[in-house]
Structure 1
Amino acid sequence: MEDRVTELEIKLAFQEDLLDTLNKIVTQQQMQLDAQQEQLRELYRQLQTLEFGPRGAPQQEIPPHY
């Protein structure tokens, strides 16, 4: 009986360690997702400020020497 309890305690310890590791990974991934979403928002803001020409391409100003 004592061997079974010891075995269960060992399994529990490994599961707790695995759970801690997975929680850290999920937290890191959420932080990366948050950063990527902010970058996407910034790119979207920059895209909104561009002026588009008749063919859908960004309109470029003609250099002064033309």
Structure 2
Amino acid sequence: MDPALELRLTDLESRVAHHERMAEEMSQVIFQQGQMIDRMTAQLRRLRDQLADAEFSGGRSPQDDRPPPHY
């Protein structure tokens, strides 16, 4: 095989290996970000539900229904 052609082929193989490694690393980052988005979405849903419950109850707690201590 021609030495120049062999050198070019080796360079191309090295570049492909580098791109494959980068693609795998990016895939892992995207997967982790997806998990984080799922957790944050669930947390936001819980907070939204808590806020809706607080608004529904008028923002009052059971302690608000007690008479003041001077009664």
TM-score above 0.5: yes
Runs of 4+ in 1 over 3 A off after TM superposition: none
TM-score, length of structure 2 as denominator length: 0.76
**Structure 1, unaligned stretches of length 5 or more?**
53-57
Give aligned-pair identity as a percent. Answer: 28
Of the candidates 15, 19, 25, which is equivalent to residue 15 of structure 1? 19
**Structure 2, unaligned stretches of length 5 or more?**
none
Which residue pairs with 1:49 in the alignment? 53
Decide which structure has greater helix share: 2
For residues 49 and 15 of structure 1, the distance between their equivalents in structure 2, rounded to whole angstroms, comes to: 50
2:4 matches 1:24: no
Amino acid at match of 2:19: Q
Q: CA RMSD in A?
A: 1.6
Q: What are the superposed Cα offsets for residues 28-57 of structure 1, whole Å, 9 maximum, x if unpaired?
A: 0000000000000000111111133xxxxx
